[in-house]
């Protein structure tokens, strides 16, 4: 991906909420940042001395779906907005996903991870110059 493109520094900030039991750690933000880093982007955050050229912000939520035997399903939705340093909106997108696991927490985080991954596949190609 990065061979013939100039890649901007990027900051990712995606708030998350799970309706039901409390779940910590930002699964959507982590997945999106991981994919950016694997594509060669330099990541920054609020602790960095450099300022991001592109910011990806958004909100994600997940919720309990149903249980069948030992399996629990959860559904998620991730909504993102991509802006350049001047505040201009470069992209807006959203994605829903579902996942099944033996725990509600893992199913919820996997659903968020999957939705963020699908969004990253669509948004990352738009970020290179």
Global pTM? 0.88
Task: Judge whether residue 2 has pLDDT over 60.
Answer: no
Give dist(CA 30, CA 43) in Å, integer: 12
Give dist(CA 119, CA 123) in Å, integer: 6
Tell me the average pLDDT of the chain.
92
Give dist(CA 87, CA 129) in Å, integer: 17
Beta bridge partner(s), residue 81:
57, 92
Give dist(CA 64, CA 62) in Å, integer: 7
The mean pLDDT value for 23-34 works out to: 87
Task: Judge whether residue 1 has pLDDT over 90.
Answer: no
Which residue in 8, 12, 128 sits closest to 80, CA to CA? 12
For 48-107, the pLDDT digits (tens) are 999 999 999 999 999 999 999 999 999 999 999 999 999 999 999 999 999 999 999 999
Tell how strand 9-19 and strand 89-101 pair up. unpaired
């Amino acid at each position: 991906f990065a061979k013939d493109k100039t890649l901007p520094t990027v900051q990712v900030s995606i708030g998350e909420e799970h309706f039901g039991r409390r779940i910590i750690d930002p699964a959507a933000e982590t997945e999106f940042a991981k994919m950016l880093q694997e594509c060669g982007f330099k990541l920054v955050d609020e602790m960095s001395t450099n300022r991001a050229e592109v910011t990806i912000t958004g909100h994600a939520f997940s919720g309990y779906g149903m249980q069948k035997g030992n399996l629990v399903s959860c559904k998620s939705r991730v909504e993102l907005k991509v802006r350049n340093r001047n505040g201009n909106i470069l992209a807006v997108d959203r994605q829903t996903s579902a996942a099944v696991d033996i725990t509600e927490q893992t199913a919820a985080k996997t659903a968020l991870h999957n939705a963020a991954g699908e969004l990253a596949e669509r948004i990352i190609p738009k970020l290179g110059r």
